Structure 1
Amino acid sequence: MTKSAASLIAVLLASPAAGAVTFTVPSKAGIGGYAYAPLDPAPIGISFEFFAFPSYFTNVTGTNQCLANWKALTGVWPPIRIGGTTQDRAQYDAATSAYVVYSVASAADAPASLTFGSKFMTLASTYGGSVVLGLNRGKNNIDNTIAAAKVAVAEMSDNLLAIELGNEPEYWKSDGQPIASGTWTPATDAASQNNWDISVGSAIGKTSIIQAGNSNSAPPTWGAQELIATENATVKQYIATYAHHNYPGGTIQSLMTHATTVTNIHVFDADIAAALAVGKPYVFGETNSVSGGGAAGVSPTFGAALWTMDYSLRATYSNMSRTYFHHGTVGNCQYCFWGRYSMGAPYYGATAAIALMAGAKYLTALDSGITNYAAYAAFDSAGAPLRVLLYNSDYFNGSGTRSSQSFTLTGLTASSNVKAKRLTAASALSRVDQGGNPSFGGQYFNNGTCTIGGTETYEAAAVSGGQVTFTVKATEALLVYLQ
């Protein structure tokens, strides 16, 4: 008997055990005392560092395939955002025929200054999904930014979702950006944003076109709630979305712990509520595990993959419309989901989260958010339960015995078996570039190309009396299909 066959039989014979974590799946969205979040068709996207964007789409083979894999799940291309620190180092040059022009001492460096031409926006226009484009406010050259924005509107008529005016302005004073040469506080930045929003929006003849905020400091300071309080009706007509950045950091164990993730997302509750109160979506416009391109001992690991999954789902459940995971310098990016040669383990976690939400209309969390055990349920357009994702965030580093946890789902209407796909790896420390491939439903993503390898494998379990039990090992997740 093969190992996989033995595992399948073990699952089929599983019965509710002492200590099982039990979650009741509502028979319909909107009932059961749970909070329900409406779902964007593609809630998880990618942020590309401004100067590196052309390279990702012209020199990195995996980019289009990795994005296409997600489109195959949801039916729509995932959203992308182009921006980051180098957007405020970039000046538009109408005369250049290049995407970007810069020089660096090492290929691993980000440029201190750069120029870009209309070809940059032409490349962005070829993408099949929505694009948020970040432009320079730090240099305080509004005429140059308006010139670039006009080209963006003309070239990207089919996919331009919003324009950012500046990236993480709280750091501009220490970075020596000209716009922050005098007094620079959240209040002076808000006044600057408001003036630029009106000037750029009116110059390009577009309302609902600005992605505002874009700070990284934890709210309330530099947050959307604080910014919105300074805006009048004239400014608000130009706002499409409010965005914030977030890099939780920490060890692998702390990062992937479910209760820690829930606590981190709660920091943004007031900001989200303030944006929704004025009828605007709220997004994580740039985020990932550890700032500065990631930490080598944390960001490429399977533990970070599970954090990516849990974090994006908790953000979505908290009414964030989209989460853009940042990709920095090609070849010097520990948290990147893919590169020229190796896949990153976090891509697996994001894919599992997308697989839960694909084609769904509502999402809820079934757990309290205070333990290591999570359960998310997605519902279809008719409100019927579609899938449930179970997550055991107990930490396993590969040493000793790997513990497991039984999860019992009750309230099910299925009268026969349900099936599931397991997201697993050897341990939380597993890294693709060190030979530690995760698998999702028995499949993996090939290095360099992001094509799918392996045979798709479902586990099955019998529903009895409206309930079913699955066993999930420490540092694993399981996606259960109810339809």
Structure 2
Amino acid sequence: MLHYFRLDRPPPLLGLLCLLPTFARAQITVYKQIPLGQTATAIAAGAAQTTLPAYDATVLIPPAIPIPPPATAYTLPVQRDAAAVQGLSIPHVGGGFFGFSVEMSVINQVLGKNSSLLQVPFLNLMANIQERAGSVLVRLGGNTQEYAVMVDTLPDGHTIAKQRATIQQTTETPAVEYTVDLFYMASNISSFVNVNWFIGIPFNDSTNWRLAIAENAQTIIGDNLLGMQAGNEPDYYASHGIRAVTYGPYDYFGEFSNLITTISQNSLIPRKNILIGPSLASGDWMPEQVWDTGFIPAFKDSLYALTILLANPTVIYSLRYICSYPNNNCFAVFGVGAPQDPQENFKDYLTHAAGVNMVRMYLNSTAIAQAAGKPFIMFETNSATCGGFPGLSDSFGAALWALDYGLQMAYSNFSNALLHVGGQNVYYNPFTAPLTNQSTFNQWTIGAVYYSALVMAEAFSTTNTSRTMDLWGNAANLYTPSYAIYENDVLSKVALFNYVDDRTGASDINVAITIPGSTVPASVKVKYLESESVSFKNITWAGQTFGGPYEVDGRLRGDLSIVTVACDQAANTCNVPVAAPGFALVFMQDITGISSVGQASLTFSTTVRTSGGTATVDPVVLATSNGHSGKDRALVGSTSKGSIPDSACRVAASRNGRGLILVAVLWAAAAGAIM
């Protein structure tokens, strides 16, 4: 596979250093970055940015202990061999199950300014998923893809620019302009961490298709491009006024067919068989209405996967809102629909029924997808549409909910699910970059559901053989769900939940795992996802955390804590405690050594900061955001400002023999800065 670097601008310094396989850590230069230790004092109490949803400090009251409470001790029989299990899921292949859907209008915030200035925290976060799962799935798109237009250049070297929305719609997401550098940026990211991409073909004009995004993505991203979405929420086209009021599933079928014909005649799009659809939201269509058009047999040879973005059936006709979200906060944001009380809704997320009910409506479609031999992907989801709920979407309870929901989707034969990522105006982000004018002193903020993605990646690991079973332990109690995960058709892990919030310890549970017809191992390793309360925002996975608001560089902090539980082989039980609240991942075997993984072995860090002169800072404490946008200054390629000017980088990038020479110079300079 080829990776492309722009030759008309400096190559990414980060990328050049990563080309050296002997170095475990990559280095880049940032501008005027304040070290980690100063972050807390840089945020004044009551500062304007704290009112933004992504940084909202609301803490809800935990739901009361259920009556009757779940049993605090129970035996959980788990079969050793997959052949003895009825209803086991299909094998899960690659990507850690949870990927990320990045709204096109915030790509500059999340991925980087352009192909030369990538967001280092994003790379670190993706590296942590890759370490556990082998790869990561990222979608670039959403509502903003439909009106996206490619332009030659944008001001200040940006890859993406927002435009005012051309239609009135609940989401009110802006249309965007983008340059070809978008694809170089994606390709460069994939050269550092194994990210695979989905992009969206603009679908607003099916007469004059704008296929530049498909042409350039295939040429530049190459094999790391998995699929191209054809239509985003077509069941909303009529209500949003971008199609006739009579627009229906057969009209979408016709436009999809027209797109396939157009692509077949385009020599700049060599891979004709990676389209994705129908990506329904919560309009008037059900998935079966699309399947009934003959969509799958007609387009099977052109499809990479079947995708859906559909809402909970209990609310699907009470409010039209997008994608597979269990609830909505649209009244608070747009004045649409019924008012929602996050405190009242909180309890609905803290039960196994939440994930089960969300997934139930798709069981027929996942079976249809299996029969067609196609992946079935939840292309966009999160805790609540219209940005999520304050105090709920960023809580430990949301992390437990997302983890249970993800395992339930895997058990129900979804191939993957993508957690949606917006800007600072939403509560549910897996991760949030600071506002551009704060990036010189603030770092990123981690969201609760990123921890869910990390745990899911570790649960499924890198074998590409993971199969999931909902065990319904503890007399099928909804507050203590449990799952078994099999790899290579042998029991690999057991996942245990406790949704009850009780800091007295009286509701902690003890699970006696037993293996009928076999013997438990002498001991098992256990990792815990923990917080003191379902309403708290501070979360640890195996004792490690990413940090609080404005202080995340994408790397786990703290000592790795793996609990070894001695099993009673005579009694054939392993007794695993789970706090109230809490989650435990029990490693019944360790095929790949994944149980010992903490911080990813590959990290991306900075070594210097500049502000007129030069300064050296220990990389342990130096912030690793890309920092200032770099506007009106040359890329600083060493610890001495101007010693390797922008023109030198261009020369090195354009001549095959010079690149590694420049790498050596830069590495020597960086090494000198920290000796």
TM-score, normalised with respect to structure 1: 0.86
Residues 227, 274 of structure 2: 8 Å contact kept: yes
Matched, 1:445 2:546: yes
* Identical pairs, percent: 24
User: What does residue 178 of structure 2 align with?
Assistant: 116
Give me the whole-angstrom Cα distance separating, in 2, the residues matched to 1:416 and 1:148.
Answer: 55
Call closer, same or farther: CA 1:153–1:415 in 2, change over 3 Å. closer
Give me the whole-angstrom Cα distance separating, in 2, the residues matched to 1:476 and 1:19.
Answer: 13
Q: List runs of 5+ in structure 1 lacking aligned partners.
A: 1-16, 432-436
Call closer, same or farther: CA 1:104–1:448 in 2, change over 3 Å. farther
Paired residue type of 1:332:
N
Residues 107, 160 of structure 2: 8 Å contact kept: no
Call closer, same or farther: CA 1:289–1:199 in 2, change over 3 Å. same
What is the aligned counterpart of 1:342 among 445, 454, 463? 445
Return the offset for 1:301. 0.9
Paired residue type of 2:226:
L
Residues 51-73 of structure 1 deviation map (CA, whole Å, 9 limit, x = unaligned):
21232111654211111111111
Paired residue type of 2:364:
A
Give me the whole-angstrom Cα distance separating, in 2, the residues matched to 1:85 and 1:305.
Answer: 25
Does 224-233 or 422-431 show the bigger shift?
224-233
Residues 206, 238 of structure 1: 8 Å contact kept: no
User: What does residue 142 of structure 2 align with?
Assistant: 84
Residues 377, 388 of structure 1: 8 Å contact kept: yes
User: What does residue 355 of structure 1 align with?
Assistant: 458
What is the aligned counterpart of 1:143 among 209, 216, 221? 209
Give me the whole-angstrom Cα distance separating, in 1, the residues matched to 2:526 and 2:301.
Answer: 45
User: What does residue 90 of structure 2 align with?
Assistant: 37
User: What does residue 277 of structure 2 align with?
Assistant: 212
Give me the whole-angstrom Cα distance separating, in 2, the residues matched to 1:197 and 1:184.
Answer: 19
Call closer, same or farther: CA 1:466–1:215 in 2, change over 3 Å. same
User: What does residue 429 of structure 1 align with?
Assistant: 535
User: What does residue 365 of structure 2 align with?
Assistant: 271
Call closer, same or farther: CA 1:156–1:228 in 2, change over 3 Å. farther
User: What does residue 400 of structure 2 align with?
Assistant: 306
Paired residue type of 1:375:
S
User: What does residue 12 of structure 1 align with?
Assistant: none
* 3-state SS of paired residue (2:532): coil
Return the offset for 1:41. 1.9
User: What does residue 69 of structure 1 align with?
Assistant: 128
Give me the whole-angstrom Cα distance separating, in 2, the residues matched to 1:474 and 1:201.
Answer: 56
User: What does residue 5 of structure 1 align with?
Assistant: none
Call closer, same or farther: CA 1:113–1:136 in 2, change over 3 Å. same
Residues 147, 203 of structure 2: 8 Å contact kept: no
Residues 354, 405 of structure 2: 8 Å contact kept: no
Give me the whole-angstrom Cα distance separating, in 2, the residues matched to 1:185 and 1:415.
Answer: 56
Give me the whole-angstrom Cα distance separating, in 2, the residues matched to 1:272 and 1:198.
Answer: 27
* 3-state SS of paired residue (1:156): helix
Matched, 1:332 2:425: yes
Matched, 1:468 2:574: yes
Paired residue type of 1:357:
F
Residues 415-437 of structure 1 deviation map (CA, whole Å, 9 limit, x = unaligned):
42222111111111112xxxxx1
Residues 350, 479 of structure 2: 8 Å contact kept: no
Does 416-425 or 247-256 show the bigger shift?
247-256
What is the aligned counterpart of 1:255 among 324, 331, 349? 349
Paired residue type of 1:473:
A
User: What does residue 586 of structure 2 align with?
Assistant: 480
Q: List runs of 5+ in structure 2 lacking aligned partners.
A: 1-69, 114-118, 166-170, 310-323, 329-344, 434-443, 590-675
Give me the whole-angstrom Cα distance separating, in 2, the residues matched to 1:191 and 1:148.
Answer: 21
Which is higher, the Rg of structure 1 or of structure 2? 2
User: What does residue 248 of structure 2 align with?
Assistant: 185
Residues 299, 334 of structure 1: 8 Å contact kept: yes
User: What does residue 116 of structure 2 align with?
Assistant: none
User: What does residue 55 of structure 1 align with?
Assistant: 109
Give me the whole-angstrom Cα distance separating, in 2, the residues matched to 1:201 and 1:22.
Answer: 58
Call closer, same or farther: CA 1:110–1:173 in 2, change over 3 Å. closer
Give me the whole-angstrom Cα distance separating, in 1, the residues matched to 2:206 and 2:122.
Answer: 33
Matched pairs, number: 450
What is the aligned counterpart of 1:374 among 470, 475, 481? 481
Give me the whole-angstrom Cα distance separating, in 2, the residues matched to 1:147 and 1:228.
Answer: 32
Does 228-237 or 168-177 show the bigger shift?
228-237
Give me the whole-angstrom Cα distance separating, in 1, the residues matched to 2:282 and 2:484.
Answer: 31
